[in-house]
Structure 1
Amino acid sequence: MADLPTHTIVFEILTRLLAKDVGRSKSVCKQWYALLSTQDFVKIHCSRSVVSSNQRVLLIDDLTCSVRPIISNNNDYGPSSTVTFPFHHQNNDVSILSHLNGLLCVCLNHTYELLLWNPTTTAFKRLSTPDSHGFYINNLDAIGLYVDADDDYKVLHIKRRSGVLGVYVYSREVDSWRNIPFITRQEYLSPHFNWLAGTFCGGTLYFTVCGGTLYFSRAILSTKNDSVDEII
């Protein structure tokens, strides 16, 4: 039997594997690593994973972190399996701020540090730097994960400090932060407005800004090609 083409192996066979096995397959060769890292592969793998037997939910409480399968016929959870935090933490005091394709951006609440964490492979990356990047303050900041045109996973961090709004982007490929100029309505700098977590859809990262208990005011921010624009 003739050898199967690499493209067939990657997109017809490897897209059906568990995420942990896909991670191991990246070490086969440089060509496989490049193909398994593309956004096309991620999309196909995710679409083939979205079946009732493969759906999982990650639960974090005060004492434990666990993964449970979703039972679709009664909207219940199956038996849980414990997930061990691979990074140093205090009393499991961890908050999930954003997620994309199984990758989580979390905050260590006792140090305010941001981390990228893959609970399936247990790999993680600290985003904090000596020049104060990568630190999150609840009720003042907002986080969103997105993928750019070059399949580079990025973290968008919106900060409010002393009435000044700053927008910063972390690149996983370059492993560094940089500032992106952004002008918004002055009232959105007020702590009375709550910035919700970003949602990545159709190549754009959207945020909702809510003001007051009735959530009557909304603004949506979009990021494309590492530029930030506001649309109402």
Structure 2
Amino acid sequence: MSDESAKLGSCSLPGEVILEILFRLPVKSLLRFQTVSKSWYAFLITPDFTHLHLRHTHEMLLRVSDRGPRDTPTISFFSLDHHKTTTVKEEIDEVYKIEDFNDIADLSSSSVVVVDLPFPCSPDDEVRVVGSCNGLLCVHFNRSSNIILWNPATRKYRFLESPDCVSFYSDPFFPYIMLGFVPETHDYKVVKVPSSSKNSNAKVWVYSMNSGSWEEIGADVLHGLLPKGGSAVTLNGCLYWMSYSNDNGRDIITCFDLFNQVFGKITLPNPDIVTNLTFQKLVVLKGCLSMIIYFGDGINANHYEVWMMTKQQGVAESWTKQFDFSPFSKLARPVGSWRDSELLFGYPNGLSLELLSYNPFTKRTRSFQRRSLVGRFKVINYVESLESVEGS
């Protein structure tokens, strides 16, 4: 890579130093540098540089507010860079200082970045961000059933024509759509799974960005399993999501190996404790598939358990309970994870404007302000990248 940097022109700095500087620059700056010369452009678009730049990019959080029907579809990004660090006790005290909705509103600020979608869409469509991977967002339009792969940093996108043309008007139970990365082939795949009992015999489709086409695949293992909603978790070339079994009325983890294109099922940790008042959230901690289980009365949470799969996947005995802790607030709900070791908690139905980040390994928590009064939102793990949506 240092040899390649020598082609960038005369410079008094060593090639290794130039690379270290370039790896740490934002995408906006690198896009400008691509216009310096043909040699700069050829170097900065190489897969090797894109991959190494991605490794040096820090993970961020985006709160994505989906604009619904009868409004111009846009995506609102809420920056969470400004935060405070407190102990758990301090955080509990701070949360309970909020006594009414007027106090909550005072916490909000008008600092919201609204990004107009660079691709055409119908004004009455409903926009959903259904997945994020290496700087690419997968955007689904509920009513038209259109799917877009979009890199917000480069503003490049790819339109994926739906393989089965199922729209809101023919089936209001939207398909479950996921985005994942295949490290073996450096390919991005979109997986489209039926999400209603009406579509129990519907087809499962997989889109490969490298080939630029959809493929119908067999999925007998999914018979009677309905996705429970929420974003899928991607880890080591596999997708994981929660499903409900029509056969026994129990929840189960469904997985999909993106390279071999094989579906599978994983039993929940300690499934005997799961009841109608028990809730689960799949996350990734320390590079392991993990699950937050929280117990309550349907409104208030009493305590949380964190289980991690540290051994062979698919074996129930490989789950290990790592943490058991009381809630910061009885109304907080887990919404995801980030930075490999922190759990994210939010409040349903706009009860609070805060998002809490808790590290169970260090027992430290951070509080973010949402910076908007928009009620519906989704937390997205995001990194800026130069990843192309053009495929190989």
TM-score normalised by the chain length of structure 1: 0.74
Residue 59 of structure 1: which of 55, 65, 72 is its match? 65
Please list, as runs of the form range in 1=range in 2, the aligned pairs for 1:66-215 lying within 5 A after superposition: 66-70=76-80, 71-73=82-84, 79-89=111-121, 90-91=123-124, 93-129=126-162, 132=164, 139-148=173-182, 149-159=184-194, 162-188=199-225, 194=228, 196-210=230-244
Residue 35 of structure 1: which of 48, 65, 69 is its match? 48
| 1:4 shift after superposition | 0.6
Q: Distance in 2 between matches of 1:162 and 1:94?
A: 22
What SS is found at the alignment partner of 1:79?
Answer: coil
Gaps of 5+ in 2: 1-11, 86-106, 267-392
What SS is found at the alignment partner of 1:164?
Answer: coil
Over 3 Å counting, the alpha-carbon distance change for 1:66 and 1:24 in structure 2 is same
Q: Distance in 2 between matches of 1:66 and 1:203?
A: 29
What letter is aligned with 1:173?
Answer: N
Residues 83-120 of structure 1, C-alpha deviation per residue, up to 9 Å, x if partnerless? 11112221573111111123111112331111112223
Over 3 Å counting, the alpha-carbon distance change for 1:224 and 1:87 in structure 2 is closer
Over 3 Å counting, the alpha-carbon distance change for 1:88 and 1:2 in structure 2 is closer
What letter is aligned with 1:218?
Answer: I
Over 3 Å counting, the alpha-carbon distance change for 1:21 and 1:175 in structure 2 is farther
Over 3 Å counting, the alpha-carbon distance change for 1:177 and 1:171 in structure 2 is same
What letter is aligned with 1:139?
Answer: F
Q: Distance in 2 between matches of 1:37 and 1:138?
A: 39
What SS is found at the alignment partner of 2:221?
Answer: coil
Task: State the partner residue of 2:381.
Answer: none
What SS is found at the alignment partner of 1:37?
Answer: helix
Q: Distance in 1 between matches of 2:33 and 2:218?
A: 39
Q: CA RMSD in A?
A: 3.3
Task: Assess if the C-alpha contact under 8 Å between 1:98 and 1:106 holds in 2.
Answer: yes
Task: Assess if the C-alpha contact under 8 Å between 2:200 and 2:224 holds in 1.
Answer: no
Residues 115-142 of structure 1, C-alpha deviation per residue, up to 9 Å, x if partnerless? 112223322211015x536968663521
What letter is aligned with 2:64?
Answer: L
Residue 17 of structure 1: which of 11, 25, 39 is its match? 25
Task: Assess if the C-alpha contact under 8 Å between 2:130 and 2:139 holds in 1.
Answer: yes
Residue 230 of structure 1: which of 234, 259, 264 is its match? 264
Task: Assess if the C-alpha contact under 8 Å between 1:169 and 1:177 holds in 2.
Answer: yes
What SS is found at the alignment partner of 1:112?
Answer: coil
Task: Assess if the C-alpha contact under 8 Å between 1:142 and 1:196 holds in 2.
Answer: no
Q: Distance in 2 between matches of 1:107 and 1:226?
A: 25
TM-score normalised by the chain length of structure 2: 0.47
Larger of the two Rg values belongs to structure: 2
Over 3 Å counting, the alpha-carbon distance change for 1:92 and 1:15 in structure 2 is farther
Over 3 Å counting, the alpha-carbon distance change for 1:25 and 1:144 in structure 2 is farther
User: How many pairs were matched up?
Assistant: 216
Higher relative contact order (CA 8 A, sep 6+): 2
What SS is found at the alignment partner of 2:231?
Answer: coil
